[in-house]
Structures are given as structure tokens and as C-alpha cells.
Amino acid sequence: MDKIKRNRDYIALFMAVFAAIVFILIATFSYKFAPNNPLATDYDNLLKAPCSQYFFGTDQLGRDIFSRILYGGRTSLLIAFLVTAIISVTGIVIGAVSGFCGGVVDGILMRISDMLMAFPGSIFTIALVSFMGTGLVNLIIAMSLTGWTYYARLSRSMVLSIKNNNYIEQARLGGANPIKVLNCYILPVIIPPLLVYISQDIGSKLLTIAGLSLLGLGSQPPTPEWGYMLSEGKEYMNSAPWMLLFPGIIILINVIVFNLLGDALQNVLNPKKSAI
């Protein structure tokens, strides 16, 4: 019975990874898939409903929404990945060092982390972006500044729980210097469970980016970006609902896929903890 469940878990993981890769490929090679230039305007076809020429209809400048969604993926997914990569790597390392060293180092690092965590995440990000100015680079910086604390906390607590295991002692007796202990003994143990959080975080960061762009704080026009497309579309909600519908669905699907990916990873790594 367990074996069958195990196989199901692997299949689920495979499917989730496959879906994620498909999305990433489509986004990266959007220029091959997009039928139209996402920036090309068509003033005779403003706010046109979906048709054969424009699969998802056009926006207020007559641009092809389908092509804009494909190109938008590049921006959205790329940033989500980048930010997640930055915060997970820095957060995990800082947390591991903090937990492993203890003492003053731990104290300082955790106080810094506490200070940053004291601000409610999204609001702090919004405030930072408003202060630094709009644009994708500032968006990445703002999201990275606040996002690493989550991983630092997680990684630190995991390190604390294994710190006193005998194999860490053995590592020291075996002559490993602290750096080696971190790299070869601690990180390989704590990273696999953290992968679950990481993949779910991608979905969450996608939403944050969309939300910030919705507020006009993320990518600048005319760059297609899903969140910004939503904010453009809300004005035309009655006359051109496809402007809201398709970017919204795409965001939805992407977030779901990455959440499912995290879920599947969780099941495979920790079979006992998986839901029925």
C-alpha cells in the first residue's frame, strides 16, 4: 500500500516539475510563441474582444493581450525566481551561521532579523519602493531586503535542532573546520526540507510582484507585466473584461502550479507527513 502511495507521490512530483518547466520555457522563449509584438499598437482595434487575430483580445491601445501575457511571464517569473533565489540563499546561510555559531554572532544577526520582521512585510516593501523609486531593479532590492528573514528563522531553528547531534561532534573530531561543517554536514541536511518552502515562495512572490505592479510600484509601462495588466484592466472592467480575465487566470495558474510543486516535494521528502 505504501509503495503505491510512494509511486503516486513521485508521479505528482514529476507532473508538477514538468508543468513548472513548461511555464518557464514558454516565458523564456516567449518571442517564439507570441503571434504579435507585445508593444505593437493597433488603433483601429482598441478594446477588441477575443478573435482569431487576437486570441485574448486587445487592450486600450489595441495591443495583443495574448502576446503581452507571454512576454509578461518573462518579467514576472524571472523576478519571482530571482528574488526567491536571493532571499533563500542569503536567508538560509545567515540563519545557519547564526544557529551554528551562537553567542554574539547569533545575537546580532537575529536582532537585525527581528528589526526587519517587525514591519509587516508587504507594507514595508511598498514603503521601500515608494522611497527608492519605481522600476524593476528597486522592486527586486525591496523584496529581497525583507524576504530573507523568513528563511533565516527557519534555517536557524533547523540548525539548532541538529546542532547537538552526534554527527556534528564527529565532524569536528574528524578535523572539519567550521566552514566545512556548515557546507558538508549542516546545509545538505537542512536544504531539502527548505526546498518545499522555496517553491511555494515562488508563487507567493509572483503574487507580490503582481500586487505591487497593480499599485504602480513595480514595472513601468509599456513593459507587459501581469499585475500591471490587471491594474490597466480594472477601468475597462465592463467594456473589456478580457483585459482582467486573462492576466488574472494566468497569475492564478502559475501560483497554483508552484504551490503544488512545493506540496509534491513535501510528500516525496516526508512521506509520513503527507495528507491522505
Report the candidate in 129, 118, 150 with the shortest Cα–Cα distance to residue 214. 129
- 216 forms part of the interface with other proteins (CB under 8 A): yes
- 251 forms part of the interface with other proteins (CB under 8 A): yes
Q: Count CB neighbours of 256 within 10 A.
A: 13
Joined together, the cell numbers standing for residue 26 give 514558454
Rounded CA-CA distance 136/145 in Å is 14
Query: 82 or 189, CB closer to other proteins?
Result: 189
**Residue from 69, 196, 232, 246 that binds other proteins (CB under 8 A)?**
232
- 15 forms part of the interface with other proteins (CB under 8 A): no
Return the residues of window 41-80 that contact other proteins according to CB under 8 A.
Answer: 41, 43, 46, 60-61
What separation, in Å, do the N-terminal and C-terminal C-alpha atoms of the chain show?
13
- 263 forms part of the interface with other proteins (CB under 8 A): yes
- 248 forms part of the interface with other proteins (CB under 8 A): yes
Q: Is 58 helix (H, G, I), strand (E, B) or coil?
A: strand
**Residue from 35, 107, 222, 271 that binds other proteins (CB under 8 A)?**
222
- 268 forms part of the interface with other proteins (CB under 8 A): no
Joined together, the cell numbers standing for residue 209 give 510582484
Q: How far is the CB of 254 from other proteins (least distance, A)?
A: 10
Q: How far is the CB of 116 from other proteins (least distance, A)?
A: 22
- 82 forms part of the interface with other proteins (CB under 8 A): no
**Residue from 49, 237, 270, 271 that binds other proteins (CB under 8 A)?**
237
Q: Which long-range contacts (C-beta less than 8 Å, at least 24 apart) are formed by 119-127?
A: 119/146, 121/146, 121/147, 122/208, 122/211, 125/208, 125/212, 126/212, 126/215, 126/217
Query: 96 or 171, CB closer to other proteins?
Result: 171
- 225 forms part of the interface with other proteins (CB under 8 A): no
Rounded CA-CA distance 249/104 in Å is 48
Return the residues of window 183-202 that contact other proteins according to CB under 8 A.
Answer: 184-185, 188-189
Rounded CA-CA distance 16/10 in Å is 10
DSSP letter string, 165-180:
SHHHHHHHHTT--HHH
Q: Which residues bind other proteins (CB under 8 A)?
A: 39, 41, 43, 46, 60-61, 130, 133-134, 165-167, 169-177, 180, 184-185, 188-189, 207, 210-211, 214-217, 220-222, 227, 230-232, 234-239, 244, 248-249, 251-252, 255-256, 259-260, 263, 275
